[in-house]
Amino acid sequence: MRAVTWHGRDDVRVDTVPDPEIKDPTDVIVQITSSGVCGSDLHLIEVMAPFMTIGDVLGHEPMGVVREVGPGVTELKVGDRVVVPFNISCGTCWMCDQGLQSQCETTQNREQGFGASLFGYTKLYGQVPGGQAEYLRVPFGNTLPIKVPEGPADDRFVYLSDVLPTAWQAVQYAGVVPGGSVLVLGLGPIGDMATRIAKHLGASQVLAADTVPERLARARANGIDVLDSTEQADVVAWVRDKTDGRGPDAVIDAVGMEAHGSPGAKFAQKASALVPDAIMEKVMTVAGADRMAALNTAIEAVRRGGTISLSGVYGGATDPMPLMRMFDKQIEMRMGQANVWRWVPDILPLLTDADPLGVDSFATHRVPLEQAPQAYETFRQKQDGAVKVLLQP
Ligand SMILES: NC(=O)c1ccc[n+]([C@@H]2O[C@H](COP(=O)([O-])OP(=O)(O)OC[C@H]3O[C@@H](n4cnc5c(N)ncnc54)[C@H](O)[C@@H]3O)[C@@H](O)[C@H]2O)c1
Ligand SMILES: [Zn+2]
Ligand SMILES: [Zn+2]
């Protein structure tokens, strides 16, 4: 089959690789019809490169049609339409029972000291072949795939794999309440969707900051109050001005470690490009190689006694955090990979013709799988208005 594979920094290709096969009795093979490109995929071709191997199949936002089921699969049949969550979670362990699917005890990567495996991600997360491919092997066929109805185009459901639960969790962890205020940093797919969900759940003030004109325009069109700057001083002054001098109740960081395209964020990427992988691997897991621009802005912008919700991915173990400032401001902080299944029952009822979250028109680019390298580049460079790219094998 054809698949998007990792070849190095800024180097993804489409290769022919072996077709996936059923290995365990509860495996299913899904023929992929749509597969998103995520901001997290960009980390893999930048700072997370030391944790990748040439030929790794990328992609963790797939959906498609079940083509084969193992002998132990009772809940799905050939022909069913499914979305595949990006966490590989068993659905039956203690963590999954708590709704902490990203910490699944069946797929936790204990040797690496990391949480549940992820599709198409680094060796820290199991190095499992991903879904930017024609076919995908999906384990836990009775509990993991999300069965969705026939009829609407893939766009209606594909974001259940990642964007929707990630943004939903970001808003829940931010503790957004009806009538409350929230600032979203970053208007990539995750931040953009978080603004929509915050508004849908009744926040009376949804503020957002980014610098990419098309991304700002999209949010503005949805009634979000946007600032065209990510400089800490600008953001802090702006939100104070909008919130009686206090700052918003919550800040969602939908940027993460690299802040792609932000001028202050080039160091980690450059460092990781110049330093040999073996050393960089140590730097990333032991020392801190992050840029924390967005997180620092969040700490300054949030009101005293407010909450910060991190969905942007951070790496590095010893980044200095301004603990005195955080303690004095009494900041609450929640973070982590999205627990996809935890939020599916809340989100599914919103994926209707009325389309309150605007998923049907969320994608800016739909391209054949063969054009993945160009699509990655367009998304990374934020050219051509690219916010969400769907690959169509
Ligand atoms: N927690 C999870 O489960 C989960 C799931 C998906 C994605 N993510 C992470 O969420 C983050 C966002 O993902 P995405 O797909 O939207 O990525 P993206 O790279 O498309 O979007 C990031 C946006 O942040 C903006 N930005 C950069 N620096 C900024 C700053 N200092 N202040 C405000 N905005 C700034 C950029 O211009 C860009 O528009 C990434 O770190 C990604 O890895 C986490
Ligand atoms: Zn993703
Ligand atoms: Zn589990």
pTM exceeds 0.75 for this model? yes
Tally of helices (H runs) and strands (E runs) in the chain: 12, 15
Q: Are residues 304 and 129 in contact, defined by beta-carbon separation less than 8 angstroms? A: no
Q: Where are the beta strands (DSSP E) in the chain?
A: 2-8, 11-16, 28-37, 62-69, 81-83, 135-138, 146-147, 181-185, 205-209, 225-227, 250-253, 307-310, 332-335, 365-368, 389-392
Q: Are residues 391 and 3 in contact, defined by beta-carbon separation less than 8 angstroms? A: no
Q: Which residue of 38, 114, 236, 383 sits with most ligand 1 atoms within 8 Å of its CB, as the best mutation to test the pocket?
A: 38
Q: Are residues 49 and 134 in contact, defined by beta-carbon separation less than 8 angstroms? A: no
Residue range 87-122, pLDDT digits in tens: 999 999 999 999 999 999 999 999 999 999 999 999
**Residue 198 and residue 170: Cα distance in Å, rounded?**
9
Beta-bridge partners for 64: 32, 82
74-79, long-range: CB within 8 Å, 24+ apart, which pairs? Answer: 74/142, 75/141, 75/142, 75/143, 75/147, 76/28, 76/141, 76/142, 76/145, 76/147
pLDDT of 292 reads 81
Q: How many CA atoms, within 13 angstroms, populate the side-chain half-sphere of residue 338?
A: 28
| Residues above pLDDT 70, as percent of the chain | 90
Residue range 301-320, pLDDT digits in tens: 999 999 999 998 877 666 67
| Pairing mode, strands 81-83 and 181-185 | unpaired
Tokens representing residue 2 in the block: 């054809």
Return phi, psi of residue 197, to 5°: -70, -40
Q: Whose CA is nearest to atom 11 of ligand 1?
A: 312
Q: Which of 47-51, 272-276, 277-281 has the highest mean pLDDT?
A: 47-51
Return phi, psi of residue 3, to 5°: -155, 150
| pLDDT band with cut points at 50, 70 and 90 for residue 345 | very high
**Which residues, 6 or more positions from 179, have their beta carbon under 8 angstroms from its beta carbon?**
202, 203, 204
Residue 105 CA, ligand 3 centroid: distance in Å: 5
| Residues above pLDDT 90, as percent of the chain | 85
**Residue 200 and residue 205: Cα distance in Å, rounded?**
11
What number does the ligand 1 atom closest to the CA of 209 have? 33
Q: Are residues 131 and 61 in contact, defined by beta-carbon separation less than 8 angstroms? A: yes
pLDDT of 262 reads 45
Which ligand sits closest to the CA of 191?
Answer: 1
Helix or strand or coil: residue 332?
Answer: strand
**Residue 237 and residue 83: Cα distance in Å, rounded?**
42
Helix or strand or coil: residue 119?
Answer: strand
Tokens representing residue 240 in the block: 């104070």
**Which residues, 6 or more positions from 343, have their beta carbon under 8 angstroms from its beta carbon?**
164, 165, 168, 169, 172
Residue range 229-272, pLDDT digits in tens: 999 999 999 999 999 999 999 999 999 875 444 444 455 555 55
pLDDT of 317 reads 63
Tokens representing residue 25 in the block: 């009795």
Pocket around ligand 1: residues whose beta carbon is below 6 Å from it? 38-40, 42-43, 162, 166, 185-191, 209-212, 215, 230, 254-256, 259-262, 293-294, 297, 311-313, 337-338
N residues, the chain: 393
